[in-house]
Amino acid sequence: MFFTLPLKLRLINTIPQQILIDKDIIDECRKGDLHSFEELVNISSPFAFSVAFRMLGDEPQASDIVQESMITVWKTITKIRSADSYKTWLYRIVVNKCYDELRKRKKNPEFSADEKTWALISNRISEEPFTEMENIESARIINLLTEKLSPKQKTVFILSDLEEMSNEEISAITGMSRTNIKANLHYARKKIGEMIEKYL
């Protein structure tokens, strides 16, 4: 079955879903080794970008946020004690920066639902098997589905349902309680479900 899938899809499925970082790299970075930090950025930036991009739906902006986050990580790397805490630390910085951006946007909403995007979703889900979407397409769909969500609900939905993080991880990243996460996730799923029911 695996070899019958298109090559593009096979490649997607082989990408690790978690940041795998050697403890030694963190130790070297803490000692001020920029080469190790370059390696660290190389490994972890795609994951940070994934979260930032899904939250903001804007490639240059997401890239800028990852860049700022990496600089912040370098400045505070001495506070990081393990590879696990590095992951949480990085995601926390990225999510906080995206969250601020989303709150700014909430004051000046610039996106509105359009028929084309719903048609795109409809076409995509009718495909068997799914093929990978371009960044711009997935951004349009996420923006459309999460348009009516609060920044908190959007953050929890992306981390939980798209990045497939556990409630414990989300709690460590966002600082929200597990009950709060569950409540926000419930409302987010409900609202998205209602939109899908209405437009698809």
How many C-beta atoms surround the C-beta of residue 128 within 10 A?
5
Give least dist CB 171 to another protein, A. Answer: 21
Residue selected from 10, 23, 31, 79 as contacting another protein according to rule CB under 8 A: 79
Identity of the residue, 110 or 197, whose beta carbon is nearer to another protein in the bound complex = 197
Q: 10: Cβ–Cβ under 8 A, 6 or more apart, which residues?
A: 2
Rounded to an integer, what distance in angstroms lies between the CA atom of residue 100 and that of residue 93?
Answer: 11
Rounded to an integer, what distance in angstroms lies between the CA atom of residue 147 and that of residue 144?
Answer: 5
Of 95, 89, 75, 94, the closest CA to residue 34 belongs to: 75
Q: Does 111 bind another protein (CB under 8 A)?
A: no
Q: Does 12 bind another protein (CB under 8 A)?
A: yes
Residue selected from 10, 71, 111, 177 as contacting another protein according to rule CB under 8 A: 71
**Tokens at 8, concatenated:** 């593009």
Q: Does 117 bind another protein (CB under 8 A)?
A: no
Rounded to an integer, what distance in angstroms lies between the CA atom of residue 192 and that of residue 198?
Answer: 10
Answer yes or no: are the C-beta atoms of 153 and 187 closer than 8 Å. Answer: yes
Tell me the window of 63-71, 99-107, 148-156, 173-181 that interacts with another protein (CB under 8 A): 63-71
Tell me the window of 95-103, 106-114, 129-137, 166-174 that interacts with another protein (CB under 8 A): 129-137
DSSP conformational letter for 133: P
Residues in the site for another protein, rule: CB under 8 A?
Answer: 9, 12, 15, 34, 37-39, 41-42, 45-46, 49-50, 53-54, 62-63, 66-67, 70-71, 74, 78-79, 121, 124-125, 130, 132-133, 135, 137-139, 141-142, 145, 161-162, 164, 189, 192-193, 196-197, 200
